[in-house]
Amino acid sequence: MTDRAFSGSRVGSLVAPRRGRAADSSAGVAARRRDKDFAQYRPRFWATLTPLVFAVAVAAVLWASWLSREDSGVTPESGTGYWLGIAGSSLMVVLLLYPLRKRTKFLRSLGTVAFWFRIHMIFGIIGPVLVLMHSNFRLGSVNSNVALAAMLIVAMSGIVGRYLYTKIHVGLYGRKAVVREMLADADALRELIAADLPVAHRVVEQLNAFAQVGTTPPRGVLTGLFLLPVIGWRAWLVRRRLIADARRVIEVEGKRLGWSHKVRRRQFASVADLVTLHVATVKKAAAFAFYDRLFGLWHIFHLPLFFLLVIAAIVHIFAAHFF
């Protein structure tokens, strides 16, 4: 097949021909740019590992406490059990500092909002764990049961809120995301693929089609519950198809242009990474309205529960000490 015939084929329509050194250089530029500009869409190892290790540690402590509950001798009225209750209650009082820090100017000297958000999440788990150990996993009086139930509901609600928060913010402790910024990032990634890598028209057309998902996000909660799995499945399908096309095209055209195996491998890694980032960006934009709506509803639900917990805890402490 001649060069002209090849350029008119399906493979040729995907490729913007480059020599090995130029391809190698463009891949390096693309890598530096995506690492700088689009890191927020890339899964972070420590951001995933740290919560997982913390969750495993908490589960291990609860499991060990549950297994030893009959022989531990812990009672809520005195000794270790009593002080576990004091410690757990104190940590949950500290939780109030996070909303106060966000809304009160004179508390700015106590640390950043991000710092108190971390404390709020960590103490929001450790506090209930200590209270559970304080109760030795047993029910007691009516007021203590109400306080325990309120605490567990608030703790579970906080875990849900933490998940929703990550869906609408840049990073766990970052600023709130904006849909138009995410779509602009998707456009930049698509241009980067078209301009700096040896994959052109057909791939860009498919990326454009998928990007329309981000401009028409699900608007209602029920609609979102139905459409989000569809969007996720479509994103997986698009990514898989584009990466498979890129692998075949780079392999065939790279051999024709005399690229080394190392250059072909590096070019494919660049294309695959950029396609993955683009798909992740569009998914985040498409799901943003849904998660933002859920987070608003969660906030309405969570705050009254927290104040109910505070009241129930005060009543329980008063009853435990004076009756």
- Residues 6+ away with beta carbon under 8 Å from 27: 196, 197, 263, 266, 267, 269, 270
* pTM across the whole model: 0.66
Give residue-wise pLDDT tens across range 197-212: 554 566 667 777 777 7
The residue type at 193: I
The closest of 196, 177, 175 to 185, measured between CA atoms, is 177
More confident residue, 159 or 6: 159
pLDDT for 114 equals 79
* Helix, strand or coil, per DSSP, at residue 78: strand
The residue type at 269: A
Q: If you search the block for the tokens 């899964």, which residue do you land on?
A: 43
Give residue-wise pLDDT tens across range 9-41: 333 333 444 444 444 444 454 455 555 556 555
Give residue-wise pLDDT tens across range 227-266: 778 778 888 888 888 888 778 777 777 777 777 888 888 8
Give residue-wise pLDDT tens across range 43-88: 666 666 888 888 899 999 999 999 888 877 788 888 888 899 899 9
The closest of 101, 104, 88, 80 to 154, measured between CA atoms, is 88
The closest of 199, 172, 167 to 15, measured between CA atoms, is 199
Contact 283, 210 (CB under 8 A): no
| Integer angstrom CA distances of residue 199 from 10, 111, 188, 283 | 12, 48, 15, 22
Sequence ranges of the domains in the chain = 16-42+176-290, 45-175+299-322
* Helix, strand or coil, per DSSP, at residue 45: helix
